[in-house]
Amino acid sequence: MADSPSPVTDFSAAMTGAQTFQLAGRPARHTVLFFYPKDNTPGCTTENIAFRDLHEQFQAAGTEIYGVSRDSLRSHESFKSKLGLPFELISDPEEALCEQFGVMKMKQMYGKTVRGIERSTFVIDANGQLVKEWRGVKVAGHVDEVLEFVARQA
């Protein structure tokens, strides 16, 4: 968790809908960036569905949601369509955002050590300040916790 608000370096990144995400100048009071390992995997699907299902409540709290992974835009477009996601997905194949937010970790998968994204969520306010972070997220109940945080800030 961020102990006190800290500035986030401005960035831009390609996202679904043939758009570019730009941190500076966002209209929302808060922006949620949730980093997940891979499209079309069980935990990541569950997490994206949870954000989808609470999207209206996030909107009511003045919050925009963006998912981030290393998957290609093509993979993201297919995943977004398959799940009916009402928010955009940011593609980070070069791991620039992953490095900026420090989410790349060595993990154990099927008995092998692999480098991958540690499931993490960040809340950035309208002034570009990181106001809350969750690292090593377990999917169950997490999205509710994020919504509760931004609703208190609204």
Residues 76-107: pLDDT tens digits? 999 999 999 999 999 999 999 999 999 999 88
Per-residue pLDDT averaged across 10-31, rounded?
A: 91
Model confidence pLDDT, tens digit, residues 24-52: 878 778 999 999 999 999 999 999 999 99
Question: Which one is the CATH code of 6-13+29-153: 3.30.420.280, 1.10.340.30, 3.40.30.10, 3.90.1150.10?
Answer: 3.40.30.10
CA distance 152 to 7: 21
Shortest CA distance to 24 belongs to which of 3, 37, 36, 7?
Answer: 7
Q: Is 98 assigned a catalytic role?
A: no
Per-residue pLDDT averaged across 68-82, rounded?
A: 97
Mean pLDDT of the chain: 93
Residue 3 pLDDT > 90: no
Name the active-site residue from 32, 44, 103, 147.
44
Would you state the pLDDT for residue 91? 97
β-strand partners of 20: 14
Residue 1 pLDDT > 60: no
Q: Which helix (H) or strand (E) element contains residue 50?
A: helix 42-53
Residue ranges per structural domain of the chain: 6-13+29-153
132-138 long-range Cβ contacts below 8 angstroms, 24+ apart: 132/1, 132/2, 133/1, 133/2, 134/1, 135/103, 137/34, 137/47
